[in-house]
Amino acid sequence: MTRVSQNDILVVGAGIAGLTLGLCLQEKGIPCRILEKSPAIKPLGVGINVLPHATRVLHALGLGPALYAVGVRTVEAGFFNRFGQLIFTDPLGTAAGYVTPQYSIHRGDLQKVLADAFVARAGADRLVEGVTCSRAEETGAGVTLMLEDADGAALPPMVGRAVVACDGIHSNLRKQLHPNEGPPRYSGYNMWRGVTVWPRILTGATMIRAGWLETGKMVIYPIRDAVDGDGNQLVNWVAEVSRPLLKQPRDWNKPGKLEDFIDAFADWHFDWLDVPALIRGAEVILDFPMVDQDPLPFWTRGRVTLMGDAAHPMVPRGSNGAGQAILDAECLTNLLVQGRAPEDAFAAYEAERLEATSKVVLINRVAPPDIIIKEVVERTGDRPFENIDDVISRDELTAFQQQYKEVAGYDLATLQAKANS
């Protein structure tokens, strides 16, 4: 028997994109239902950053207090070479003049904030767990989703007014729309991630980028404050190293091995941080190849469209994956509110967001925010320097940062213009 929700927008996936879209739609009085393949939402993954262009959306949804309670409001980015020497400090979030903060936060904490808010506002029946969407078919009555349970057994289909696929990097609906798409594009670098309980580093709200990919690069930032009685934080770290591609699935939760990468950081003992000790302090290490997909020619067919990682998976550099998904959700909701038919709103959403996100995918490949470290490595021959001003000017360093912010849509002038429009 077909379950019918013909007035609902059906959202496939209860990750960052799907839950944000659900909250945006609910806020505007547009009925929706979110379908999630996991039997229950659990705090998977490690840390992510949400930049001010996206936190503006979340604060407008009234989530500021909940985010304040579980995340760290990042105040600066510190760029270092592999010898622990400071190259550049860039203020972030409200410290840089933005209205809303940049949050460094455990992905599971962010997902829980979004899920709790959606259930509280829309009702528990609007979040359906334990169902996988295998295919979507347009009919005169709307769009029918073919569903399966966790064992692959068929469930009754569900009909909605339209469907938004927020089902991540392994999206079945992306595969349906693009059955001949090529394999993921490997960047040449692998990443290992973990979280470690650790004393405050530098300001206690600094996002650290150190070293470069060929010899080993680290990204380090706190994601929870005061996790014990000693004032320690939960610190997220990411190790990135040039490696040949191993045949492995794109699984954000695949366990990793310390011996596969620790050698690249064995001598990273700085006055302000013992990096090997930080890495070894993690209870669990996760392993993920740094891959993305070439930008798609289209996301939308009729009343079916893609969003978030299902639409534009990007190399995890630049702290922009979650942010772009949140901007997708805001954009599509605003277009649906205008009273357009779903297929017209979806087409307009694609026209606005596909090109913008494609630019972010491509700049993440060649010129992410930490490209300034590569520039310094090349100018110094990967050796310590005596004075950074003799290597590169502050104007050059600032220009590198500004270029990325403008492409990604979170430079201060752009956000101030949006706020005043």
Residue 232 within a domain: no
Q: Is residue 175 part of a domain?
A: yes
Strands 216-224 and 233-242: antiparallel
Residue 403: per-residue pLDDT: 85
Residue 301: helix, strand or coil by DSSP? strand
Question: pLDDT for 322-365, tens place per residue?
Answer: 999 999 999 999 999 988 899 999 999 999 999 999 999 988 88
Q: Is residue 325 part of a domain?
A: yes
In a domain, 165, yes or no: yes
Question: Which of 47-56, 153-162, 184-193 is predicted with the least confidence, judged by mean pLDDT?
Answer: 184-193
Concatenated DSSP letters for 292-307?
Answer: E-PPPS-S-BTTEEE-
Report pLDDT digits (tens) over 172-210: 999 999 999 988 888 888 999 999 999 999 999 999 999
Give the side-chain half-sphere CA count within 13 A for 235.
29
Q: Into how many domains does the chain fold?
A: 1
Given a cut of 60, is residue 1 above it in pLDDT? Answer: no
Reported as a pLDDT band with limits 50, 70 and 90, residue 246 is low
pLDDT of residue 3: 59
Q: Are strands 76-80 and 154-165 parallel, antiparallel or unpaired?
A: unpaired
pLDDT at residue number 250: 67
55 within domain boundaries: yes
Q: What is the mean pLDDT of the chain?
A: 92
Give the integer Cα–Cα distance in Å for 34 and 256: 32
Domain contains 98 = no
pLDDT digits (tens, 9 = 90+) for 362-416: 888 877 888 899 999 999 999 999 999 999 999 999 998 888 888 888 888 888 7
The helix-helix angle for 107-122 and 16-27 (nearest 10°) equals 30
Domain containing 109 — which CATH number? 3.50.50.60
Structural domain that includes position 154? 3-72+104-182+293-366
Does residue 402 lie within any of the structural domains? Answer: no
**What is the reported pTM?**
0.94
